[in-house]
Amino acid sequence: MAACPQCDRTLSSTAVSCPHCNLQLKAHGHPGIPLHRATGTDFLCDSCIYHADDTCNFPQRPQAKTCTLYQAIDTPAKLSPQEIYPLPWWRKINQFWLAVAILIGLSILVTLL
């Protein structure tokens, strides 16, 4: 169970807003998008990886107190599908033609032996 950052009461993990203090917890009312909030007088941009590599296009940058795209500098980056599955793109698209080429290659090898 999550806790409300304002009133510190327990909440459902899918709650869009706090039923006790009406604090907006999720971005734009979407339960799947978390809304990151800065604590104290600090800004989120000071510790965000997108601000560090200058790829952030958020209008409130660099004084953002809330952000949906916040990624802390010290957290490991998410792997892309190409890094997880290092198959070349052509192999994925042309699986049929690759199988035909392998069968032709095997049949040539068998006839030569």
Which residue reads 């806790």 in tokens? Answer: 3
pTM of the complete model: 0.42
Q: Would you state the pLDDT for residue 105?
A: 95
Q: What is the mean pLDDT of the chain?
A: 77
Q: Would you state the pLDDT for residue 102?
A: 92
Distance of CA 15 to the CA centre of its chain: 20
- Which of 12-21, 22-31, 74-83 has the largest mean confidence? 12-21
Say whether pLDDT at 9 is over 80. yes
Q: Would you state the pLDDT for residue 15?
A: 74
Peptide bond into 62 cis (omega under 30): yes
Q: Would you state the pLDDT for residue 104?
A: 95
Say whether pLDDT at 3 is over 60. yes
Distance between CA atoms of residues 48 and 40, nearest Å:
16
